Structure 1
């Protein structure tokens, strides 16, 4: 079944005209000079310390045209049907909220089911909110930066509506042992079917897939077919999950790295995790008694070994709280309390350079302390994270007593400024639009619009790569010279 929604009529453009005369021109010129004078006055008299969120303003005449690929419902909302109809508590974490949803007799045959509240899955829910916006009737999408089109020839990009993360999580929750295999792996079968369907389309063949958009927020989403979709625009939470050590490499120890041409800031977009904690408004903020807070797993792999070292350095420091756990049920309340009563929230690298913990800290007005040298962050160029976050080199953070001493040296005025700046930037990390099934108008300053704006910024490079590829003579073999494959 194709995913379609109703289209709206074009917006009429009003054209105004008026007769011109010398007096009218004189008055107009006088008015213009006065306006310019006032404009320059306010521009140059504004205090330099005033924080202006560096987000691109949405303009009604500027949008990205998106065509939604024709995929069966079984690859998106049908996976939610599968999740809810065969709900089995996740062995990795208590999922009380999902149990409550199923116990209230979730209606069957719901066209747009809710996304799981299980925090292990919910943190990756960008796929759900992006598609929900595109599925919203066009007359309600007045605040969307993405304009949905129904003729692929009119599109800037082709969105592939596959809930790749949910597909992976369903497999991990039911038969984790088969996840890395192809036989007996339902997730792999879905990956294979989606890729085979999309690659057969004229749109893919015309661009080599370079103008197709996949949402891969879980680091393991579409793992088996990544090489085949590498030319596409990938929406990922960071690049950490794309690099791994393979024990089966030639000498058993050298790193087997996925080629750099598969992920690149030239073509791909870093998107935020879905925050799991509620927003704290600046007017609700109260005195913070603790210096530094962290809640999460102590033991991590790869670049995350820094977390264990930091833990050992900080666990006994006065004013520092280091807790094991994840923000589910009881853990969620602990995280809310910890983040709202601490000046700073520690954000060390884990298995990948970033996590949803950063965005929970922002919503809690807890100043992020980012200890992750290789981190890539969402919407950079639109947002300056240094206005509300503290960045610390790993080597400095691991020096005994250095980190705590540095944080204590920051003045109250500096910390207040960080929090004021953070309060203004909180909305851009929000996905939820408050409508059932995610079908309804989205916040114009929210995460979905910023994602499409970021894709829009990359279009010139992507279109250039398509033209360059299409002009090559048949049979020519030219080495890849840029990261935008």
Structure 2
């Protein structure tokens, strides 16, 4: 979904108030200088089949609004990104993910009429709901970066450098293969980056990339073929690069960003409409759990949570996500359960974090967590430091040992405190969504992408010189 495809006869894009630019495709770079009253907008466009770098320099009263915020995006060879998803049908581990690549990683548009529901759950009229897969973040982030207002094709201006490598797709396609094959593309990328002039500026410490997988997939401990993942983050070059992932397991150069949800609005108005809807919803269930047992994980508390929920049928809603059930593949059904619940229990799954946590927050449901690694130790850029403001914490061991009744504990929380927590959850919603690319002006939302880029820029600025 590249709006700047050179095959298009004409592209109109608004980058400053009352300024409309028509770009005619040419085989050479196009530079347009426009003067509009007291505002100067300089546009430099570089486009090819792989990527688009835009340098935007908007001056207001003589000030460069992008000063300190310019990001340069490497124009990587297609083997590092586009080819990985172009051939995804060829890999067994990726085959069932290919359908989610449409709409720049947002996935198919959700039409609520396609689902068998008697009441409207989503704000479908806005056209901002998609069946988004939780592992599509690197595709979504790259498209968002293409429309970032301070993207530049002049690396000398940049404060940070984005590497649009689809690391998650790379690691996923070769699970079960030799470590040599799994490490090959990452090592190739490291060599490619070392040769770039942008690398030499800070030896890669100003570089960053995004992956839709968890951090441990890229930190294989040994070179045994039986070991998990690849060793991307153990390569000397990548020890300097910042990695943004949906879950981290290192606190040196890894930072957690939200899982993608199904809501991708284009304006503040849409977000406020949704916030108002979830705030006014009457919730029928005290709490709910959407998930399945993890019998292969001995320390998992999911079995006990499900047992307690089924025993509290009048106050707990259980959405079974076993392999035979299709309920959890129905995004409308999932949002309906969370929307109708005051609390949503979020135990660990295969890893400490869950996409479901972000779905529940989007629905205005107060998350109930059982380990600090599920949120508190992960998403520090996005949630209040005081976790009691927006969540309930129950230690895993207390549930595992049967020392706590989830129903009784949640029922004991006062209505006043619940109201305050729900209000805090509502405030978090704009921060954990990925909005449609390209929105500027007063309707622009400081979403998960904007927060991540701003924090990366802060991190680079705070680094000591070489």
Q: TM-score range by the shorter chain?
A: 0.5 to 0.7
- Alpha-carbon offset, residue 277 of structure 1: 6.3
1:364 corresponds to: 363
**Residues 8 and 60 (structure 1), Cα distance of their counterparts in 2 relative to 1, 3 Å cut:** closer
Which residue of 2 is the match for residue 210 of structure 1?
A: 205
Q: Counterparts of 1:346 and 1:283 in 2: how far apart (Å)?
A: 22
Aligned pairs for 1:359-398 within 5 A:
359-375=358-374, 376-380=377-381, 383-384=384-385, 385-398=387-400
Within-5 A mapping of 1:196-235: 196-219=191-214, 220=217, 223-228=230-235, 229-235=238-244
Shift of residue 164, structure 1, vs aligned partner: 1.6
Q: Give the structure 2 partner of residue 428 of structure 1.
A: 431
Q: Provide the C-alpha distance between the structure 2 equivalents of 1:204 and 1:302, rounded to a whole number of angstroms.
A: 43
The equivalent residue for 1:478 is none
1:66 is aligned to 71
Counting only pairs closer than 5 Å after superposition, residues 17-96 of structure 1 correspond to structure 2 as 60=65, 63-83=68-88, 86=89
Instruction: Give SS of 1:152's match.
Output: coil
Most deviating of 118-127 and 267-276:
118-127
Which residue number in structure 1 is paired with residue 345 of structure 2?
346
Kept in 1: contact 2:257–2:452 (CA 8 A):
yes
Change (3 A) 1:227 1:126: same
CA distance 1:68–1:78, shift in 2 (3 Å): same
Counterpart of 2:189 in structure 1 is: 194
The aligned residue for residue 135 of structure 1 is 146
Q: Greater shift after overlay, 424-433 or 327-336?
A: 327-336
Provide the secondary structure at the position in 2 that maps to 1:237. Answer: strand
Shift of 1:328: 6.9
Kept after mapping to 2: 8 A contact 1:293/1:344? yes
Cα distance change of structure 1 residues 78 and 388 upon mapping to structure 2, 3 Å threshold = same
Residue 180 of structure 2 is matched in structure 1 by 182
CA distance in structure 2 between the aligned counterparts of 1:11 and 1:205, rounded to whole angstroms: 30
- Deviation per residue, 1:148-194 (Å, 9 max, x gap): 2333333222211112223344x16xxx532x6434x5xx4433322
Is 1:3 matched with 2:51? yes
Where do 5+ consecutive residues of structure 2 fail to align? 1-47, 110-129, 219-228, 265-270
Aligned to 1:282: 276
Task: Give how far 1:294 is off.
Answer: 1.2
Alignment partners' CA distance in 2, 1:77 and 1:418: 42
| Separation in structure 1 between the aligned mates of residue 179 and residue 331 of structure 2, nearest angstrom | 34
- Secondary structure of the 2:445 match is coil
Closer, same or farther: CA 302–63 of 1 in aligned 2, 3 Å: farther
Q: CA RMSD in A?
A: 3.7
* Match of residue 316, structure 1, among 311, 314, 318: 311
User: Where is the strand percentage greater, Structure 1 or Structure 2?
Assistant: 2
* Greater helix content: 1
- CA deviations 1:243-274 (Å, max 9, x no partner) are xxxxxxxxxxxxxxxxxxxx31x543210000
Are residues 1:404 and 2:400 paired? no
Q: Which runs of 5+ in 1 are unaligned?
A: 16-58, 107-111, 243-262, 471-485
Distance 1:14 1:454, change over 3 A: closer
CA distance in 2: counterparts of 1:408 and 1:212, whole angstroms: 48
Q: Does 1:163 align with 2:153?
A: no
Q: Number of aligned residue pairs: give it.
A: 365
Looking at CA atoms only, which structure, 1 or 2, has the larger radius of gyration? 1
- Using the TM superposition, give the Cα deviation of residue 413 of structure 1 relative to its aligned residue in structure 2, in angstroms: 2.3
- Could you tell me whether the CA contact under 8 Å between 1:379 and 1:451 is conserved in 2? no
The worse-fitting range, judged by mean Cα deviation, of 226-235 and 308-317 is 308-317
TM-score (norm 2): 0.67
Distance 1:60 1:269, change over 3 A: farther
User: Which of 113, 118, 135 is the aligned partner of 1:124?
Assistant: 135
